[in-house]
Amino acid sequence: MLSFFLVFFVLFGFFFVIEESLSQDESTKRHRIVTLSPHLAEIVYASGAGDYVVGVIAGTNYPEEATRHPIVGGFSGIDFEVLISLEPTIVLAWEQGNKAADILKLERLGIRVHILSASNLIDLENQVYDVSRLFGTEKIGDELISALKNKALSFDDGLGNDPQRRVFIKIWDRPIFTIGRDHYINEALRLCGLKNVGEQYPFRAGSISIETMLLSGADSILDLTGAKLIDDMKPNSIRHVDRSSSMRTIEGDSELLMRLGPRFLDGLEALCAQIMTFEDGI
């Protein structure tokens, strides 16, 4: 009788291990994710669902594991042939960044698309919440959300209540691109005591002339390109160089600040620290 029970438990344990292994394999196959923005890839990995990623958009460079996947498109749009070949079960799209026509085409092809918004700071937490619920990684997602909330609370609210410095945000040089209204970075900059003069412009991001930039009333240029403004000076704008000399340049980490992902608050923290040093030196 004892031998019978020993055999029973050994066999039961054996089949349990097999069943658990099969369950894990099925779970891995259940999701095949393609992300259409670098910040979405970061969120998926940080939320614990990185093992399910099979394709990413050009510019995806973090975490390092994300760079190993096929590229399904870039700034100009989606490479549908590559994307379809990956047989995704779901595509994560960015409402403010991906083309509506591309998203519509994916849906017409029968591909499930989940659209995430990144238009204000609360969307950082919302994106993590959505992704972790989509892929069954709630525990990791909730831990990340808690960490992000604690990080946000560490900012000096006193700085943000009354912005002291007016900045022009430069995100591209040729032509000059800036951030306008309805962009999450405007809200974030107020935490550092900064106000984006571009909030008056009727776009989220767009190009303007050098003259418009120099006459914007900004105290400083927040450079998120790493390029030098002088390289773009045109002959008809040289008369404004003296005016621009009073606009001090603040360097920001564009990779962190232009992606509303898990590392965004790290970039903002570094910027705020730079502003504090900047003000102390005046």
- Would you list the DSSP string of 37-87? SHHHHHHHHHTT-GGGEEEB-TT--SSGGGGGSPB-EETTEE-HHHHHHT-
Could you tell me the pTM of the whole model?
A: 0.81
Domains of the chain are: 30-151 (3.40.50.1980), 157-280 (3.40.50.1980)
Q: What is the C-alpha to C-alpha distance for residues 36 and 32, in angstroms, rounded to an integer?
A: 13
Spatial CA neighbour of 257 closest among 160, 158, 187: 187
- In this model, does residue 182 exceed pLDDT 90? no
Q: In the predicted model, what is the mean pLDDT of residues 175-199?
A: 91
Q: In the predicted model, what is the mean pLDDT of residues 254-275?
A: 93
Cβ atoms within 10 Å of 19's Cβ, excluding its own = 10
Q: What pLDDT, on the 0 to 100 scale, is given for residue 246?
A: 67
Q: What is the C-alpha to C-alpha distance for residues 154 and 82, in angstroms, rounded to an integer?
A: 43
Q: What is the C-alpha to C-alpha distance for residues 135 and 47, in angstroms, rounded to an integer?
A: 9
Q: What pLDDT, on the 0 to 100 scale, is given for residue 20?
A: 40
The string of pLDDT tens digits covering residues 54-111 is: 999 999 999 999 999 999 999 889 999 999 999 999 999 999 889 999 999 999 999 9
The string of pLDDT tens digits covering residues 13-68 is: 444 444 443 344 444 458 999 999 999 999 999 999 999 999 999 999 999 999 99
Q: Which of residues 32 and 238 earns the better pLDDT score?
A: 32
- In this model, does residue 175 exceed pLDDT 80? yes
For the record, the structure tokens of 93 come out as 């799209």
Which percentage of the chain shows pLDDT scores above 70? Answer: 78
Q: In the predicted model, what is the mean pLDDT of residues 159-177?
A: 80
User: Taking all residues of the chain, what is their mean pLDDT, rounded to a whole number?
Assistant: 83
Residues 6+ apart with CB under 8 A from 258: 171, 185, 224
- In this model, does residue 169 exceed pLDDT 60? yes
Question: Which residue type is seen at 190?
Answer: R
Locate all alpha helices (DSSP H) within the chain, ordered by sequence.
2-30, 38-46, 80-85, 100-108, 122-134, 138-153, 157-161, 184-190, 210-214, 241-244, 254-257, 264-280
- Please state which of the ranges 3-17, 30-44, 183-197 shows the lowest mean pLDDT: 3-17
Q: What pLDDT, on the 0 to 100 scale, is given for residue 153?
A: 86
Q: What is the C-alpha to C-alpha distance for residues 3 and 202, in angstroms, rounded to an integer?
A: 81
**Degrees, nearest 5: CA angle 172-176-182:** 80
**Degrees, nearest 5: CA angle 252-258-264:** 80
Q: What pLDDT, on the 0 to 100 scale, is given for residue 7?
A: 45
Q: What pLDDT, on the 0 to 100 scale, is given for residue 230?
A: 43
The single residue listed with the structure tokens 């989606």 is: 78
Phi, then psi, of 74 in degrees rounded to 5: -155, -150
Per DSSP, the residues of 255-266 read: HHHTS-STTHHH
Among 134-143, 181-190, 198-207, 222-231, the range of highest mean pLDDT: 134-143
Q: In the predicted model, what is the mean pLDDT of residues 141-159?
A: 84
pLDDT bracket for residue 174 (50, 70, 90): confident
Q: Which residues pair with 78 in a beta bridge?
A: 73
Question: Which residue type is seen at 10?
Answer: V
Residue 237 to residues 73, 113, 185, 217, 223, Cα–Cα distance (Å): 37, 46, 28, 16, 19
Phi, then psi, of 106 in degrees rounded to 5: -60, -45
- In this model, does residue 239 exceed pLDDT 70? no
The single residue listed with the structure tokens 């560490």 is: 154
Per DSSP, the three-state class of 11 is helix
Spatial CA neighbour of 54 closest among 39, 45, 37, 66: 66
Q: In the predicted model, what is the mean pLDDT of residues 214-240?
A: 64
